[in-house]
């Protein structure tokens, strides 16, 4: 009995020596992965928002122009707030998922694997969903649009009125219904990106476990967008068309852009949680290997006594 307790104490104590290095690697992997995927994601999200708020600009044109802007004006693109919004979202999300996973695997036994995965999902979702809604609010307020109502009463065309600029207006209050749809969409995305791939990877007919996980990290998040995209379009339409019209009109607008937007968002998930997830996992393993190579105390350095 004493030997078992000492073994458990040794295992947790030995891991605690490596914990700061592991956590530093988790943060570094998250930041590098977010920097890699944020440019294309910023261009895609901007194009989708602009397409929903405009009936004259095709999605393909908006997407092409925004992607080209990334390469033609890199300094202006990376210094702009939209890139910062996107980078913050994924850097914090990856950091949270990595760190919570490291902490649970360090201080929890393997018999509690399901509980550890549940904790990782809940904490990651708690961080990602509000940040995702915050990012979408900023994108919609920046690139979306609502029809400007015509001025009430007679229009003053005197020279003084033309020269005088109108007073600044406060930004439109963001509807709770729109935020709620974004919350539901992000919950579906997190479920399909972090929780389901490890649970479904063994069902993929590939012999190599690493290849199974990589395939699951690419396929499952993409398929989750088939469910999440209609919710996303509903939120954008609720913002662009807040008036209470016929439900059929709203459904018609969503259905009209559903196919193209679903394809774009499925493609968007590949860098966001597919390629980004694979790069993040690979960098984590590389940093862990570096930490393990620094020669932390091993079991042979301890004297384990038995009674």
Domain spans of the chain, in order of start: 29-146+175-278
State the average pLDDT over residues 193-215: 86
pLDDT at residue 245, rounded to an integer:
63
- pLDDT of 169 higher than 90: no
- pLDDT of 170 higher than 50: no
- pLDDT of 96 higher than 90: yes
Distance set, CA 267 to CA 126, 128, 224, 251, 260 (Å): 25, 20, 12, 24, 11
pLDDT at residue 54, rounded to an integer:
67
**Average pLDDT over the chain, rounded to whole?**
79
Q: Are 295 and 78 in contact (CB under 8 A)?
A: no
- pLDDT of 282 higher than 60: yes
Distance set, CA 48 to CA 42, 137, 242, 256 (Å): 10, 14, 18, 13
pLDDT at residue 196, rounded to an integer:
86
The pTM score is 0.70
- Per-residue pLDDT of 37-61, as tens digits, reads 999 999 999 888 888 776 667 788 8
Quick one: tokens of 264? Answer: 């774009």
- Taking each continuous run of H as one helix and of E as one strand, the counts in the chain are 11, 0
pLDDT at residue 155, rounded to an integer:
46
- pLDDT of 167 higher than 70: no
Out of 41-45, 101-105, 215-219, which region has the weakest mean confidence (pLDDT)? 215-219
Beta strand ranges found along the chain (DSSP E): none
Q: Is 307 exposed, middle or buried (0-12, 13-18, 19+ CB in 10 A)?
A: exposed
């Amino acid at each position: 009995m004493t030997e078992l307790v000492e073994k458990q104490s040794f295992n947790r104590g030995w891991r605690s020596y490596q914990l700061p290095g592991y956590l530093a690697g988790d943060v570094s992997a998250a930041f590098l992965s977010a920097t890699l995927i944020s440019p294309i994601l910023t261009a895609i999200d901007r194009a989708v928002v602009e397409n929903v708020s405009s009936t004259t600009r095709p999605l393909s044109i908006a997407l092409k122009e925004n992607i080209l802007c990334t390469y033609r004006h890199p300094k202006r693109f990376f210094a702009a707030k939209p890139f910062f919004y996107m980078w913050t979202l994924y850097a914090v999300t990856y950091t949270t998922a990595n760190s919570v996973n490291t902490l649970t695997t360090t201080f929890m036994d393997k018999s509690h694997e399901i509980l550890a995965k549940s904790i990782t999902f809940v904490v990651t979702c708690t961080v990602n969903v509000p940040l995702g809604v915050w990012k979408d609010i900023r994108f919609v307020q920046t690139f979306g649009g609502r029809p400007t109502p015509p001025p009430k009463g007679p229009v003053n065309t005197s020279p003084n009125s033309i020269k005088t600029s109108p007073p600044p207006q406060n930004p439109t209050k963001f509807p709770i219904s729109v935020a709620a749809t974004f919350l539901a969409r992000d919950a579906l995305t997190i479920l399909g990106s972090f929780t389901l791939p490890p649970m479904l990877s063994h069902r993929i007919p590939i012999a190599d476990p690493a290849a199974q996980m990589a395939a699951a990290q690419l396929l499952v998040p993409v398929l989750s967008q088939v469910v999440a995209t209609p919710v996303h379009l509903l939120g954008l339409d609720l913002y662009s068309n807040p008036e209470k019209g016929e439900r059929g009109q709203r459904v018609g607008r969503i259905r009209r852009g559903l196919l193209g937007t679903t394809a774009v968002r499925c493609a968007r998930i590949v860098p966001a949680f597919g390629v980004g997830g694979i790069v993040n996992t690979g960098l984590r393993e590389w940093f862990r290997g570096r930490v393990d190579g620094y020669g932390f105390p091993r079991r042979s350095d301890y004297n384990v006594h038995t009674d």
